[in-house]
Amino acid sequence: MRPGSRRVGGVVLVGGRSTRMGRAKAWLPVDGRSMAATVVAAVREGLQAITPHPPMVVVAAADQDLPPLEDVLISHDQVQGEGPLRGMEAGFAALGEQADMAFVASCDTPLLKPAFVTRMVELLGEHQIAVPLVAGRHHPLAAVYTLDLLEQVRTLLAAQRRRPFFLLEKARTRPVTQEELADVDPAMASLCNVNTPAEYRDLMGREKSS
The structure's pTM equals 0.92
Full domain range(s) for residue 69:
3-205
CA–CA distance, 169 with 145 (Å, rounded to integer) = 13
pLDDT at position 23: 74
**Residue 153 domain-assigned (yes or no):** yes
Q: How many C-alpha atoms does 165 have within 13 Å on its Cβ side?
A: 5
pLDDT at position 1: 40
Q: 17-52 pLDDT, tens per residue?
A: 655 665 788 889 898 899 999 999 999 999 999 999
pLDDT at position 167: 97
Number of domains in the chain: 1
What stretches in the chain show pLDDT beneath 50?
A: 1-4
pLDDT at position 3: 46
CATH of residue 101's domain is 3.90.550.10
**Residue 210 domain-assigned (yes or no):** no
What HEC string does 10-31 produce?
A: EEEECCCCCCCCCCCHHHCEEC
Q: What is the number of other CB atoms lying within 10 angstroms of the CB of residue 46?
A: 26
